[in-house]
Amino acid sequence: SAVISQKPSRDICQRGTSLTIQCQVDSQVTMMFWYRQQPGQSLTLIATANQGSEATYESGFVIDKFPISRPNLTFSTLTVSNMSPEDSSIYLCSVGGGHYGYTFGSGTRLTVV
C-alpha cells in the first residue's frame, strides 16, 4: 500500500490567518482525498483532489474556505483559510483503492486561537 507523508503534524494558528497542509505520496495516484475530524468525532470527507482538474467538494465545504491544489500525481495541499476556532480539527489526507490501499496520512492537528 501507499505511504503518505503529511505536514505539519500540528500547528496553533491565530484566527483570521490561513494554514496550508501538505501531503506527499510515495506512489503516483489518481485521486487523493482530504478529510476533517472534529474533536471527538468521526471523519468527514472534505473533497476529492484529482490531478489536472479542480477538486470536487462535498456538501458543506467550499473552495474559498478549503482551496486544494494537486500539481502532480504524488502531491496535494489543502489550505484552511480565514480560520476561526471552529476550524480546530484534525485534517487528514488519504488515497484510496486498488493496490494503493485505503491509506491515511498521520494527520495535521490544527488549533485556532
Partner 1 sequence: GESVGLHLPTLSVQEGDNSIINCAYSNSASDYFIWYKQESGKGPQFIIDIRSNMDKRQGQRVTVLLNKTVKHLSLQIAATQPGDSAVYFCAETYYNQGGKLIFGQGTELSVKP
Contact positions vs partner 1 (CB under 8 A): 1, 6, 30-31, 33, 40-45, 48, 60, 92, 94-97, 101-107, 109
Segment (H or E) for 37 = strand 31-37
Output the nine-digit C-alpha cell for 94.
488519504
Output the nine-digit C-alpha cell for 45.
470527507
Q: Based on CB atoms, which residue is closest to partner 1, 19 or 29?
A: 29
* Distances in whole angstroms, Cα of residue 62 to Cα of each of 25, 54, 66, 80: 24, 12, 6, 11
Secondary structure of residue 92 in the 3-state scheme: strand
Least distance CB 76 / partner 1 (angstroms): 13
Least distance CB 31 / partner 1 (angstroms): 5
Least distance CB 16 / partner 1 (angstroms): 26
Q: Based on CB atoms, which residue is closest to partner 1, 14 or 42?
A: 42
